Amino acid sequence: MMPLHTVRPNIVQAIRAFRVEDLQLAAQDLGQHFLYANLGSAQSKQEVLEGIAEAFLFPTHFGKNLDALFDCMTDLVHKSGSQPGFVVVLEQLPDNAKFDREAREQLLDVFRDAADFWGERKIPFRCFYSFQ
């Protein structure tokens, strides 16, 4: 099994050799939240945001835009009580004309900003992603 202590506590990185099951077990061992979204059927930014909202159980009023995503990953959770940390997996992000490199970078920037937000609060937030 892959120990999470080998991964910086506040980072967004490609999943590479890590297995989703190992990341889930590592999160459980540390008592951290494990957030997983398989976006294999998503093609557009809207579908990616809907897929994340559904998988992460965001409130129904989620605005399905990047600002709302940031709020859901930070303030909303922060206000709900003390947090042990997060392991986030975004699997199979689309790689196509409707969700191009710029769209992917904008999405990942939200998770980088969330990692910074939690880092300032000394709470680990690790996000792993892969492409279709």
Tokens of 115: 């990692």
The sheet carrying 125-131 orders its strands as: 10-14, 125-131, 86-93, 33-38
Write out pLDDT tens, residues 27-71. Answer: 999 999 999 999 999 999 999 999 999 999 998 888 899 999 999
Confidence (pTM): 0.94
Q: Which CA distances in Å does 22 have to 28, 40, 80, 97, 113? A: 10, 20, 27, 32, 25
- Distance, in Å, from the CA atom of 50 to the CA atom of 130, rounded to the nearest integer, reads 18
- Distance, in Å, from the CA atom of 129 to the CA atom of 125, rounded to the nearest integer, reads 13
Write out pLDDT tens, residues 91-123. Answer: 999 999 999 999 999 999 999 999 999 999 999
> What domains are defined for the chain?
8-131 (3.30.370.10)
